[in-house]
A and B are shown apart, each in its own frame.
Chain A
Amino acid sequence: MEGHFPVGEVFCMVVVRRREMKTKELGQQQIIQGLKDADSEVIDDFIQQFSRPLFGVILNYTKNPPDAEEILQDTLLRVIRKIDTFRQESDIWPWMKRIAINNSIMWLRKRRASRGREIQLEDFAPTFSEDGHLHGSVFRWSVDPEDVILNAELASQLYEAIQSLPFEYRVPLVLRDTEGYPIKQIASLLGLKEATAKTRIHRGRLAVRRKLADYLEGRG
């Protein structure tokens, strides 16, 4: 699935596909050894192989390409500098991805001053009658979640819905739903109480759900 998403003034092509970012064992060993030896050819291959997927990860946290570039640069440098601490028997991709996520979160924490608006529950929750019954009908959408891999427009709508969330909501939601982190770990990474992390994920999901429901209803 391919789709073009506007990122700042440039358009990045985002390819969503079910895939394992697993390097072949020999390739991984060569990369690790090459980085340790500061082999310039291996460094070029390493950049070519991993800068795209890492940039994709980072863009989930920051929408701003110049910032994402800065975080990517720092992530690649950290990977090279920390390569001696990497446990060789494991796969290098999840390790690098964690460094990219931690870097993105550190960057966001520094920028806390630019807070987004708070998502009010009542803006996106269904309405209930006084006795607690759901008011009116709820649109029943007929979307298979896996369609996102095949449907560029749907993926684009989803991507934009997530990206439009203020970062206080976007980051916990991406960590939980996209990356599958447990809530406890999300709370710890973001310096939040678990209950706050849960509330933010819930509100973020409600906002994304509303945007997609509007899109799917409009599409008929």
Chain B
Amino acid sequence: MRHYLNCKNCFDLLMDYLEDSLDSETQKKLDQHFAECSPCLNFLESYRDCSKMAQQLRDQQVEIPKELENRLKTFLHEQM
């Protein structure tokens, strides 16, 4: 791995960085870059936040129309 990582190198490794799949030396170089480069840090945080926000959609509840529930009941009773 090269000695110095520029913004583009860090962007290319962004996903592996967040997946924790880089070797420790490269991971440290990215840590260092993000600590020193505020535009990259802003980008990293917003990218990571999108991922965390999507997690909040887990187990969402959907109010479904009563007719759909009734159709499901009729269908399943017919199948049993």
Chain A residues with CB under 8 Å of chain B are 10, 12-19, 21, 38, 40, 43-44, 47-48, 51-53, 55-57, 59-60, 69, 72-73, 76-77, 80, 125-126, 128, 131-134, 136-141, 143, 145-146, 148-149, 154-155, 158-159, 162, 173-174, 176-180, 183, 198, 201-202, 205-206, 208-209, 212-213
Contacts and interface: CB of A to CB of B under 8 A. Distances in A.
A43 B61 CA distance: 20
State the 5 A-B residue pairs at the shortest beta-carbon distance, nearest first.
Answer: A132-B6, A145-B52, A132-B8, A177-B54, A134-B7
Contacts of B77: 40, 43
Given A15-B62, A60-B57, A162-B54, 17 more contacts: A13-B62, A19-B59, A47-B73, A47-B76, A48-B69, A53-B59, A55-B64, A69-B68, A73-B71, A73-B75, A77-B79, A128-B8, A132-B6, A134-B7, A138-B40, A149-B56, A209-B50
B60 to A, nearest CB: 4
Max count, chain B CB within 10 A of own CB: residue among A139, A143, A205: A205
Contacts of B56: 16, 18, 145-146, 148-149, 155
Nearest to A60: B57
Nearest to B7: A134
A198 B58 CA distance: 20
B67 to A, nearest CB: 10
A141 B43 contact: no
A132 B7 contact: yes
Interface of B: 6-9, 11, 14-15, 19, 37-40, 42-43, 45-47, 49-65, 68-69, 71-73, 75-77, 79-80
Interface of A is mostly: helix
Contacts of A40: 77, 80
Interface of B is mostly: helix
29 contacts: A14-B63, A15-B60, A16-B61, A43-B76, A43-B77, A51-B69, A53-B62, A60-B57, A69-B71, A73-B72, A76-B72, A77-B79, A131-B6, A132-B6, A132-B9, A133-B8, A134-B11, A134-B37, A136-B39, A140-B38, A140-B42, A158-B54, A177-B50, A178-B57, A179-B58, A183-B19, A201-B15, A205-B51, A212-B53
